[in-house]
Amino acid sequence: MDVPWKKPGAKLPVLEGDKNMSKQTINFMLNSQKVSAQVESDSRLVDFLHEMGLTGTKLGCGEGDCGACTVIIDGQTANSCLVLAPQIDGKEVTTIEGLGSYEQLHPLQEAFIEEGAVQCGFCTPGMLLSAKALLDENSNPKREEIIRSISGNLCRCTGYTKIANAIEKVVRSKS
Amino acid sequence: MQELNVVGKSVRRKDALDKVLGKSQYSGDIKLPGMLHVKVLRSPVAHALLKNIDCRAAESLPGVHAVLTAKDIPESNTHGIIIKDEPVLVMDKIRKIGDPLVVVAAETEEIALRALSLIEVEFEELPAVFDPEEAMKPEAPKVHDGGNIQSIRKIRKGDIEAAFAHADIVVETSYRTQMQEHAYIEPEAGVAYLDGDVVVLRVSTQNPHFDCKEVARNLALPLNKVRIVQAPTGGGFGGKLDISVQIYIALLAIRAKRPVRLVYTREESMLASTKRHPYVIKYKTAADKNGKLMAIDVIVIGDTGAYASYGPGTLTRSAVHATGPYEVPNVRVDAYTVYTNNPTAGACRGFGVPQLAFAHEQQMDMVAQRAGISPIQVRLLNALRPNSQTGTGQVLETGVGFVETIEVAQAKALEVLGRIC
């Protein structure tokens, strides 16, 4: 039967026992905490985060289109479905779990709630991290720059207007 | 007036706090002890007779806990919101690309995928039909035994022939609208586990009560032995009203006696889920020389794909809304729900109305052009108002805001554009 992985030349999914690749140790900063972990060479960052119990990073497409899995690596946003876990060795990673807490929300989180910028919530963590990366770099962005900063994050229910309004609210409150 | 606590206040969404913190547990985020991973083998062809499935190599693969085909469904092996015409797993006939054939539960997703690749499927391909108008012809390949016209909804009001005979303006146009994927940002997902003799599902769904009945019916369980919990759901737009992972995971949790998890990839979500119905609309409008509507004569053909899903309901809505927000004294509508070997079409935002709006609004513009009046004038002239009668004969007493809406839009256009369209 013609399933994608049975096409000529296609590789079968690799099983644990077949792996030539060994696990490797990585050291990195995760949400301001030092972490040392053993990772599979072919493990995606998004899956590795879920294995660590950090499920706030969402997987929407697995191919870098939707931005639901956005995290911040050394100040830059990245789709964690397109990053291999070993690639974060020596780097600083921020996920949604590092943005705020029940006790102390980040101003962006507060604004998203206030402005009604959260509906199904699946794009929300990625949106918030894209917005944070923008504000960390530029504390007084124009509306167009805000819109550009979330252009890699797809939303299907809330709509972009309220999300941009929420980010703009944080900018205005700071300036 | 008395000050109320909630009414009239801007309230915070109950779930917003968990969502901005990334703490919401969508079904794909749930981890249970000993949880197995599920994958589905799907048909690569659109129309075929299923001859044999050989699962022996997959079953003997270490780490595989269950490999199930149609023969393992305890009862029914059918689901569907209006008509039970869709198999949980195909027994004898494949009707679309992506039709499910085998489900596998294994220790890891990789092992489950490897198991799928070891399954040998024999089938005999049949001629397929992908165009709904072709499918309506008597010689077309039959998707279901009862024929490809699943149902017809008719509306008849007044005297169509007389109206067209006396009309000054007749506008006749064919329209086609496209299939559309809902593309909710969270692909379908669910986990299932046993709580005593109750099978519990936490799933991404819009329809937990329907899910409960369909799971119970297919598994031959009483309703009180199936518990469906709607997990936070990352969008649906009508696309999560139908069954997706529910029956597979309930069945596998019981058979493997372990918690199971199935999360569709985006590719599988697009392959397996319902779509917006693509339409063929043949729309004929009669009006007098001033642009006053006299009659409409409309044929609507909705391509519901391989299975009915919400097709008959969607086409009923389309028939009822064929007149648009206008008063039309003479009406004839025939709305067909037609099977093809295309992806199944179901509920999708607007439920058959946006397709018709695309057609009737263009008809109105053309009537205005022919009558030499503006697009706004033709709409105000024919607008439904309080005490107007709809195409189905209902007299609208209150809540008819169409004229006011146009007036507000007109004022806004004047403000923004400096002119009225």
Give pLDDT tens digits for B9-60: 888 899 999 999 999 999 999 999 999 999 999 999 999 999 999 999 999 9
Residue B299 resides in a domain: yes
* Residue span of the structural domain in which B388 resides: 383-421
Q: Same structural domain for residues B297 and B341?
A: yes
Sheet architecture: strand order including B93-94: B93-94, B48-54, B120-125
Q: Same structural domain for residues B412 and B285?
A: no
Question: Looking at residue B420, what is its pLDDT?
Answer: 73
3-class secondary-structure state, position A98: helix
Question: Looking at residue A18, what is its pLDDT?
Answer: 54
CA-nearest residue to B233 within chain A is: A120
The CATH homologous superfamily to which domain A107-174 belongs is: [2Fe-2S]-binding domain (1.10.150.120)
H-only helix segments in B225-352? 246-256, 266-272, 311-320
Picking from B64, B180, B185 by the largest number of A CB atoms within 10 A of its own CB, the best residue to mutate is B185
Average pLDDT of chain B to the nearest whole number: 97
Question: Looking at residue B170, what is its pLDDT?
Answer: 98
Average pLDDT over residues B140-156: 98
Encoded amino acid at B291, one letter: G
Query: ipTM for the complex?
Result: 0.93
C-alpha distance from A79 to closest chain B C-alpha (Å): 15
Residues in chain A predicted with pLDDT less than 70, given as ranges, are: 1-21
Residue B4 resides in a domain: no
H-only helix segments in B68-226? 109-117, 132-135, 160-166, 208-219
> Is the alpha carbon torsion for B247, B248, B253, B259 positive or negative?
negative
The tally of domains found in chain B comes to: 2
Q: Which chain A residues touch B265 with a CB distance below 8 Å?
A: 62
In Å, what is the CA distance from B411 to each residue of A163, B331, B369, B408, B415? 28, 33, 22, 5, 6
Q: Which chain A residues touch B187 with a CB distance below 8 Å?
A: 60
Residue B314 resides in a domain: yes
CA-nearest residue to B119 within chain A is: A1
**Which pLDDT tens digit goes with each residue over B203-257?**
999 999 999 999 999 999 999 999 999 999 999 999 999 999 999 999 999 999 9
Question: Looking at residue A15, what is its pLDDT?
Answer: 54
Q: Same structural domain for residues B301 and B351?
A: yes
Residue B162 resides in a domain: yes
Residue B288 resides in a domain: yes
Average pLDDT over residues B363-387: 97
Q: Report the CATH number at residue B303.
A: 3.30.365.10
d(Cα A69, Cα A83) in Å, to the nearest integer? 10
Question: Looking at residue B3, what is its pLDDT?
Answer: 85
Picking from A40, A42, A52, A120 by the largest number of B CB atoms within 10 A of its own CB, the best residue to mutate is A120
For B53, how many CA atoms within 13 A lie in the half-sphere containing its CB?
A: 27
3-class secondary-structure state, position B332: strand
Residue B280 resides in a domain: yes
In this predicted structure, the answer to whether residue B198 has a pLDDT above a threshold of 80 is yes
Q: Which of A56, A95, A113 minimises the CB distance to B23?
A: A56
CA-nearest residue to A51 within chain B is: B31
Instruction: Tell how strand A70-73 and strand A76-79 pair up.
Output: antiparallel
Q: Which chain A residues touch B186 with a CB distance below 8 Å?
A: 58, 60, 68, 120, 122
Q: Same structural domain for residues B290 and B421?
A: no
Check B235 against A156: CB less than 8 A apart.
yes
Residue B105 resides in a domain: no
Average pLDDT over residues B128-153: 98
Which of these three, B353, B372, B391, is where a domain ends?
B372
Question: Looking at residue A16, what is its pLDDT?
Answer: 53
d(Cα B59, Cα A81) in Å, to the nearest integer? 31
C-alpha distance from B16 to closest chain A C-alpha (Å): 6
Chain A residues 21-40 with CB within 8 Å of chain B: none
Question: Looking at residue A21, what is its pLDDT?
Answer: 62
Q: How many other C-beta atoms can be found within 10 angstroms of the C-beta atom of residue B320? A: 19
Extents of the domains making up chain A:
18-98, 107-174
Task: State the fold for domain A18-98.
Answer: Ubiquitin-like (UB roll) (3.10.20)
Q: Same structural domain for residues B176 and B281?
A: yes
Q: Same structural domain for residues B414 and B343?
A: no
Percent of chain B with pLDDT over 70: 100
